């Protein structure tokens, strides 16, 4: 089993459950609460991941990282952004210095 397979299965499961009964599906419940709630969960999980990295053990970090990836994928699904688009962007950036890539972004 490879990471892309796992993520593809997760993406399909999230898509399938978006329209499920919110009383039986966490994904459906999050989607019913709206984009703000989903985004809030991504932020919470990001914070919990940072805390786990700084003060907890490896198992805690692995668990929080899984929660973060899951909630990010729920957010991507809610915005109809395929994971393939994110992976393509990572592919585009491969081999490019992070400093150079950030400098090439349009200024606000």
Condensed to tens digits (0 to 9), the pLDDT of residues 51-63 reads: 999 999 999 999 9
Residue with the bigger pLDDT between 99 and 108: it is: 99
Q: Which structural domain, as residue segments, surrounds residue 52?
A: 3-80
91-106 tens-digit pLDDT: 998 888 878 767 877 8
Global confidence as pTM:
0.87
**Is residue 105 assigned to a domain?**
no
Question: Using an 8 Å Cβ cutoff, are 45 and 67 in contact?
Answer: yes
Q: Give a yes or no: residue 17 inside a domain.
A: yes
Contacts of 28 (CB under 8 A, 6+ apart): 17, 18, 19, 20, 21, 22
Cα 1 from Cα 60, distance rounded (Å): 22
CATH number of the domain encompassing residue 67: 1.10.287.1080
Domain presence at residue 33: yes
pLDDT at site 24: 97
Looking at the domain assignment, is residue 15 inside a domain? yes
Q: How many domains does the chain have?
A: 1
């Amino acid at each position: 089993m490879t990471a892309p397979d796992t993520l593809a299965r997760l993406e399909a499961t999230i898509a399938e459950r978006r329209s499920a009964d919110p009383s039986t599906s966490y994904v459906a419940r999050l989607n019913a609460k709206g984009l703000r709630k989903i985004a809030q969960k991504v932020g919470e999980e990001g914070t919990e991941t940072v805390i786990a990295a700084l003060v907890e053990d490896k198992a805690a970090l692995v668990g929080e990282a899984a929660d973060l990836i899951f909630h990010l994928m729920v957010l991507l699904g809610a915005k109809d952004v395929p994971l393939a688009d994110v992976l393509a962007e990572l592919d585009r950036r491969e081999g490019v210095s992070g400093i150079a890539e950030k400098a090439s972004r349009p200024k606000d």
